[in-house]
Structures are given as structure tokens and as C-alpha cells.
A and B are shown apart, each in its own frame.
Chain A
Amino acid sequence: MARDILAGLVLLGFAIMVWIAAEAIRETPLDDEVGADGFPKLLAGSLGVLALLLIGQTLLARRRGAKRAPSAAAEPLVTRGGTETPVPSPGRQHLRAAGMLAIGIVYVAVLETLGFILSTLLLLLAVALYSGRPPTIGMAALAVAGAALLYALFVRVLGVPLPSGIWPGLVS
């Protein structure tokens, strides 16, 4: 229930930010009846109202002392044909998820410098190590083979130009 209030507040804040940013969109003589800022403002207003409704609904449910909060009733019903499955959310689990994202951020940061092969090799190793697998020669071999395979697939077969980084220097 607290999560829904938090989500409502965050989205309300976001709606206000979008409205302010839309205000800054400059007007031009080419503008139509609605203007370039009209639709974003309409959306920001709608999001704000919906966020307030979510907060209100949650507070009302809390006041009524409902046994099940709206979100608790809703969560198992979120998906039809997709993969969205709500997860329990202890802080450690979110930290682990953030760690996976951090690996991606580091990958993106070093991609152009190290090149696709080296970065991908490190990415495969990092994900395996992050999962708690002990470092072994097999793991290293798999990472090397995996990076080489992906390079061959994308660059050689599909003709996708991926960053070479320092790699040409290493092979020449």
C-alpha cells in the first residue's frame, strides 16, 4: 500500500516536471490550434490526475482497513501474454538487480575504448562471477569463445560494424 502512495507521489512529481518542461517549449508562427506544447501538457495533466486518484484510492482503502490493498489484489493480474510478473521486493533483491544494471553501465562506458570483443568477454565473465560462480578456466574459455562467436556472428555474418576499440591494435 505504501508502495502505491510512493508511486503516486513520484508520478505526480514527474507530471509537474513535464508540465514545466512543456511550458518552456517555444511558440512559433507555424503552431496549430493545439501547439507543440498542447499534447504534452494534456498528458502531464492526465498523469497528475491519475496519480492523485491512485493516492486517494490507496488512502481510502487504508482507511477502510481493507484486508488487501489494491495493489496486492492487482499484482497477480498484471500480465496477459507478456512476461510481467511482480516480484517480492526486499532491498537486497533490488540491490542485486541494480548490480546487473551497473554491469551494463560499465559495459557501455568501456565499449568504445576496449572494443566489442574485449568488452563482451568482460561482460560474460562479469555476469557469471556476479551470479556467484567460482572463477574457473572453463568460465574464461566460455567467455572468450562467446565473445568471439558473437563478434563473428554480428561483424562477419550480419555485417554489423561494432566498435573495434583497441582491438585492431592488439591483433595487428
Chain B
Amino acid sequence: MEGLGYALDALLNYGVLLAAAGGVVWGILGGALPGISPSIAMALLLPFTYAMEPVVAIVLLASTYVGAEYGGSIPAILIRTPGTNASAATAIDGYEMQKQGRGGEALGLSLMTGVLGGLFGLALLVLLTEPLARVALLFTPPAYFALGVLGLSVIASLSEGSMLKGLMAGVVGLMIATVGTDSVSGVGRFTYRSELLEGVPFILVMVGVFAVSELMLQSSQPDWSKAEKDKVRDTRLKLPSVATLWRLRRAQGIGWFFGALEGVMPGAGGSVAAFMSYNEARRWSKEPGKFGHGSEEGVAAPESANNVVACTALVPTLSFGIPGSNSTAVLLGGLLIHGLQPGPLLFTQRPDIVYGLFAGLLLANVGMLIIGMLILTPAIWLVNRPKPYLMGFIYALVFAGAYSIDHSVFDLGIVLAAGLLGYVMRVFGFPFLPLVLGLVLGYMIEANYRRALVSTNGDHMVFVQDPISLFLLATALLFVVISGVREISIRRRARAT
């Protein structure tokens, strides 16, 4: 009941209302732009949340994530160019519907099933997060260290086929996190300039790695300025009737199931959920032959799934502070810059944040229905803009955002350096998420590792004597072993072909 009170407070807070609406608008526009993933849209906002009230900042970021999941389906349906990875499955049948003159219907279906999926995901988030977070109350420093290691072990499953590279990226992220004044001894580590005494702000690294490297990549593409897709004319959005939604209940149910499953599992994410839902919806469909030729189920299933994920992906992030995707890593960054550590204490010390976030997500999901209809024309206009102008704006936005954090030009240098790092990583096939995970989990891992060893005079057995730590480390090991075995089998198959 207390939580309900906080949620109601948030619902009556103008700042939260504006953040939810603004986040959805920004998310839809960002998601609609091919190349701007939900995590980039969120990372671009991150610096501006610095000065905001924490609950407003978190609602803004989470609403952006929600909006971007729908926004990505707009170009997927209209020009067969998924705005986000998660909307790639939608492009298959959504674009076919568009070609048949049913583009408005496909957009309406995407919007409505997305909203319903989002509300389902929110219900799961509210039900699951607090009980899971309570488990964390039993945690000691060795267990927190092991939890951090478990978070990092996600790297293995995220980097299938290139586990070594994933692990290396994770280690580099951890290394960046060691820059700054050591919290135990007060000694400076790798602080060659006074600006680095407080460490490398991970917001700057995220903005650089995600956004600047994307700009570099876009400009490196042949004829990037001319690679504008067919211009899209205005399309009138047509919402599905209740009867249609009922008819598509099986596809939506499949989307909800996979969205819930993949969302709470760190490392899976919206695109996996969307494609699995699409495949299963086809398998269970009464009209599987329609898939690939403009099937409504082919739009409903993946759109339901990726919107469920936008909420359920927050379960591990809020309960344990373990982000399972780029977007939730950015959201975790948003929590950390306001001094908010996810976990059980967040529920007891700052319930206003947690329940405010839930309320904000409710507003975002419901508001998306109205905003989604209103914003379609501007989104189409934006999709049609020449890319170079958009890229110039994004570049300016990156710099203004990064500068606003500390009013330091040095910070802009960090952003550019991170951008170069991100580009090099792309070229050499290194994944980003491990780097970001290492960066955001670095302090937690090192601090608890050292705390645990202080209490035992350096005896590492403490990590296997603590039952929670042992369980988490064993799970992490299992993750790595399974991924390793899978990687070996991929290589064998590759050699065999």
C-alpha cells in the first residue's frame, strides 16, 4: 500500500508526467531513425539527467526505452529498415503489409500490441522485482563480488563465437573503471591529469562508444549520404479492433511469454525475444503460410515480445544491479549518477524512486498509445530527412550533452576517445556490452573483492565458504562453460562446412 502511495505521488508529479511523455516522444523519434538504437537514444539523454530530480531522470530514461521499442517498428514497416535490432522481425511481415497498402494497419497493430505487451511486462516487473531484491539482503561482500562476476559472465553468452573477444572487452571495461583515486588507500591510479582524479565518468564512455562510433561508422559507409531510402508518404495509422486483437491472442501470448522469459534473463534481449516469438507464432499459427506475406500475427508476436522486454529487462537491473543489455546498462548508469544503488536497499531507502519508476512506466505505456498516433507524421518526416543533417545534429547533441555534465572540454575529449575505441572495437569484431558491463560493475567487483579479503586477511577461500558466493560463482562458471562448449561446436560446424 505504501508503494501505491509513492506511485500516486509520482503520477501527480508534473516532472514525472513530462518525463514519461518526453521520453516516449524522444524514444519513438530515436527508434525511428535507423542507426539510433534505444541505448544510443538513452545515452544521448543521460548527461542531461544529471541535474534532474532522480525519479524524473529515471522515468525519462525508462520511457525512452519503451518509446524506442515502438519507434523502431516505424521504418521497419514503412521502408523495411528496422530502426532497432528488436524490430528486425517486424520488418518481415510489416513491410509486406505496407506493400499491400496496409501500412497504417501494420503500424496500428504494432502500436497496440506493443502497448498491451508493455503493460504485461510492467505487471511482471512490479510483481517480480521486490521479492528478488529481498534475496540480495542476505548478501555479504564475497556474495556481492560473486554477483558482479556473475554479471560479467553474461559476457560469455553475449559473445557467442567470439568469447575471448567478449572477455577481453570486459577486462578493458574493468580497467577503465580502475582509473581515479583508489577508494581504500586514497592513492591516485592512472590519474595523469587532475580531471581524472574522480575517474572516467562512464556516461562519457557510453556516449562515445555508442553514439560517436555510430557516427563514424555511418560516415564510413559507401555513399552514406545518398543511402536515403525511398521517401515515405504520410500513412494514416489504423488501430486494430478488439475483435482483431482477440483473434491475434495466440500470437500475442507467445510474444508475452518469450518477452518475459528473455527479459528477466540477462544477456538475451529484445531481438532474441522478437525472433523467437516470430518463429513460434508461425509454428503455432493456423495460417503459417501467410507468414512472410503480410501476416498480422507476424507483426503482433514480435512487437508484443520486444515491448514486454522493455519492462522485464529492468527486473535483474533493479533487483541486483545487473544490466542484461546496452539499454539497461545505460539506465543503470542513470541510477548510479544519482547515487542510487539498485538492490533491496533501493526499495527501503528510496521507495519513491522505485514506485515512481513503475508509475512512470505505466504513464509511458499508456501515453504511447496517444503519442504514437500523434507523432507518426513527424517521425515519418524525420525518417525522410537527409542523413548528413541528422548526423550533424546528433554530433552537436553529443557534445552539448557531454559538456553539460561538468562544463569541461576535457570531457569532450574523453567522448571522442571513447568513440574511437568503439569504432576500433566494431572493426575488430569486439562486442560493446562487455565493455559497458565491466565499466559499470568494476567498482562493485573491486570494492567487494577487497572488503572480503580484508575480513579474512587475504584468504581467498572466503569466496567459496560463503554459500551465496559459492552458488553465484558456480553459476557464473556454468554460464562460461556452456558458452564455451557452444562456441567449440560452432567452430566445428564452421570447419565442417
Contact = CB atoms under 8 A, between A and B. Distances in A.
Contact of B175 (A36, A47, A120): A47
Contacts of A130: 219, 388
B220 A96 contact: yes
A150 B220 CA distance: 26
A107 B392 CA distance: 12
Contacts of B7: none
A48 B37 CA distance: 33
A73 B490 contact: yes
A67 to B, nearest CB: 7
A111 B412 contact: yes
B454 interface: yes
Contacts of B172: 11, 47
B457 A33 contact: yes
Nearest to A69: B494
A125 B268 CA distance: 40
Interface string A74-110: 1101111111111101000110111111011101100
Contact of A100 (B168, B216, B397): B216
B288 interface: no
Nearest to A37: B189
Interface residues of A, number: 92
Interface string B2-45: 00000000000000000000000000000000010101100000
B270 interface: yes
A1 to B, nearest CB: 11
A118 interface: no
B432 A84 contact: yes
B450 A39 contact: yes
Interface in A26-46: 26, 28, 30-40, 43-44, 46
Given A66-B495, A80-B271, A32 B388 contact: no
Contacts of B225: 131-133
Nearest to A103: B395
B393 interface: yes
Interface residues of B, number: 95
Given A74-B161, A108-B416, A127-B392, A160 B48 contact: yes
B86 A54 contact: no
Interface stretch (B110-118, B338-346, B365-373, B422-430): B422-430
Nearest to B403: A162
Interface string B434-449: 0000000000001001
Task: Name the prevailing secondary structure of the A interface residues.
Answer: helix
A150 B400 contact: yes
A34 B409 contact: no
B46 to A, nearest CB: 14
A39 to B, nearest CB: 5
A123 interface: yes
B269 A80 contact: yes
Contact of A99 (B37, B219, B420): B219
Contacts of B167: 50
Q: Which of A44, A93, A116, A146 has the most C-beta atoms of chain B within 10 angstroms of its own C-beta?
A: A93
Nearest to A7: B428
Interface in A140-169: 142-143, 146-147, 150, 154, 158-163
Contact of B220 (A44, A77, A97, A147): A97
Given A66-B494, A103-B395, A112-B409, 7 more contacts: A77-B160, A80-B268, A81-B86, A84-B432, A87-B220, A93-B220, A111-B412
Please provide the 5 A-B residue pairs with the shortest distance between their CB atoms, ordered closest to farther: A81-B269, A74-B162, A131-B225, A74-B161, A127-B392
Interface of B: 35, 37, 39-40, 48, 51, 85-86, 158-162, 164-165, 167-168, 171-172, 174-175, 178, 182, 184-190, 210, 212, 214-217, 219-222, 224-226, 267-272, 325-327, 386-389, 391-393, 395-397, 399-400, 403-404, 407, 409, 412-413, 416, 419-420, 423, 425-433, 446, 449-450, 453-454, 457-458, 490-491, 494-495, 497
29 contacts: A3-B427, A36-B185, A38-B450, A40-B175, A54-B168, A57-B164, A67-B495, A68-B495, A71-B428, A74-B165, A75-B161, A77-B159, A80-B433, A81-B327, A82-B37, A86-B427, A87-B427, A93-B221, A93-B222, A100-B219, A101-B212, A101-B216, A104-B212, A108-B399, A108-B416, A128-B388, A130-B219, A131-B225, A133-B386
